[in-house]
Amino acid sequence: MNNIVEFEAALMMALQQEEPLKLRLTLEGMGMPVDAQDTVIRASSELAADDFRGIARVIERHGLSPTAEQWLR
């Protein structure tokens, strides 16, 4: 997991409960397609609100942030 994904997970945790519209706009600003946004929001809402690692794994799986392996190429 890289720093970008960790930042996105922390931001998502902060916005998920209080600001769903801002969360959607943030994911859109990250360049995430709408279908992936829906998947990420749905999957992360099924996790505990404080499950930082779980949310980060969801973002890694469905997001567009480069993984550690991609950085090394």
Q: How far apart are CA 38 and CA 18, in angstroms?
A: 17
User: Is residue 50 one of the residues assigned to a domain?
Assistant: yes
Whole domain around residue 12: which residue ranges? 3-67
Tokens of 71: 């950085």
pLDDT of 68: 47
pLDDT of 22: 92
Low-confidence ranges of the chain (pLDDT < 70): 1, 63-73
Of 40, 42, 20, 19, residue with least CA distance to 31: 40
User: Is residue 51 one of the residues assigned to a domain?
Assistant: yes
Residues 6+ apart with CB under 8 A from 22: 15
User: Is residue 73 one of the residues assigned to a domain?
Assistant: no
How many separate domains does the chain show?
A: 1
pLDDT of 72: 47
pLDDT of 49: 73
User: Is residue 44 one of the residues assigned to a domain?
Assistant: yes
CA gyration radius for the chain?
Answer: 11
User: Is residue 13 one of the residues assigned to a domain?
Assistant: yes
